[in-house]
Amino acid sequence: MTNDQTPQWGKPDQPGDQQPQYGQPQPYGQQPQYAQPPQPYGQPQQYGQQPQPYGQPQQPYGQQPQYGQPQAGLPYPQYVPAGPIPRDASGAPPLWAPWYGIGFLDAFTRFWKKYARFDGRASRSEFWYWFLANAIISTILFGGYIAGMIAWAASSTTVDEYGQSTSNGSVPVVGILFLVLYFVWWAATIVPTFALGWRRVHDANLAGPFWLISLVTGIAAIVFGALESNPAGAQYDRPDGQPKA
């Protein structure tokens, strides 16, 4: 440099006149030059991302949670069987699984085996075969009470020659017996019947509390019983050995 501060050929400029080189940090207070490599296509910028809730794993950008992983708010851990539902030698699936195409007698016995089990699903055949069996037994018991009362009224009343009827006051034992059996049957089936309806709405991939609507109107029970099965209802299954929610 000469005394008039004119840079000479081939000599570097003064520090105050230096231009920032690519990739070097800038002095304090200066804005950085555009030297950052662009983000790969398809990846989001780091700036502006929302933090994930504490304790929850972060999903990769653009990727939806995979089916079968436990999600927050579900009553049971999701389960997706690796293949078809296993069956034993008689062709019956395990109690945690629904039985599609079940017969009348099997549906009746399976109802009692899953007495108060609210997890899992129930097929339409399980649901309707039980209601058929319940209707038959309830009709027999209550009908026996009515028939016993009619028979007692006919046998205990006599008419004399003056046309006056008298009653011998005997206790209608048969009628009372059928009435007691009817109430015993009702008390024994109220819980498993409610659990069966709960599992039926699970089979349609609906939450169990939807069955509470049937307590208000019987039409809802018919509608829920007629709903088609939805494979996504497997999220309510709880296979043997799986942890409970």
Query: pLDDT per position in the chain (245 positions), as tens?
Result: 445 555 555 554 555 555 555 555 555 555 555 545 555 555 555 555 555 555 555 555 555 445 444 444 444 444 455 457 888 888 899 999 999 999 999 999 999 999 999 999 999 999 999 999 999 999 999 999 999 888 887 776 666 666 666 666 566 788 899 999 999 999 999 999 999 999 999 999 999 999 999 999 889 999 999 999 999 999 999 887 555 54
In this predicted structure, what is the pLDDT of residue 82?
47
What range does the domain containing 126 cover?
A: 104-236
For residue 2, tell me if it sits in a domain. no
Cα–Cα distance, 111 to 96 (Å, whole number): 12
In this predicted structure, what is the pLDDT of residue 73?
45
For residue 24, tell me if it sits in a domain. no
In this predicted structure, what is the pLDDT of residue 230?
95
* CB of 93 closer than 8 Å to CB of 123: no
For 4, counting Cβ atoms within 10 Å of its Cβ (0-12 exposed, 13-18 middle, 19+ buried), the class is: exposed
In this predicted structure, what is the pLDDT of residue 2?
47
Q: Phi and psi for 169 in degrees, rounded to 5?
A: 75, 20
For residue 85, tell me if it sits in a domain. no
Q: Hey, what's the torsion of the CAs at 133, 138, 140, 141, to 10 degrees?
A: 140
Cα–Cα distance, 77 to 184 (Å, whole number): 36
Which residues in the chain belong to E strands, given as ranges? 157-159, 165-167
Which of 171, 143, 141, 134 is CA-nearest to residue 155?
Answer: 171
In this predicted structure, what is the pLDDT of residue 128?
97
Number of domains in the chain: 1
For residue 32, tell me if it sits in a domain. no
For residue 140, tell me if it sits in a domain. yes
**Model confidence, pTM:** 0.62
Residues shown for the chain: 245
Q: Tell me how far the alpha carbon of residue 189 is from its chain's centroid.
A: 23
Which of 141, 136, 116 is CA-nearest to residue 197?
Answer: 116
For residue 171, tell me if it sits in a domain. yes
Three-state DSSP state, 6: coil
Cα–Cα distance, 229 to 201 (Å, whole number): 9
Cα–Cα distance, 114 to 107 (Å, whole number): 10
Full 3-state SS string of 157-205: EEECCCCCEEECCCCCHHHHHHHHHHHHHHHHHHHHHHHHHHHHHHHCC
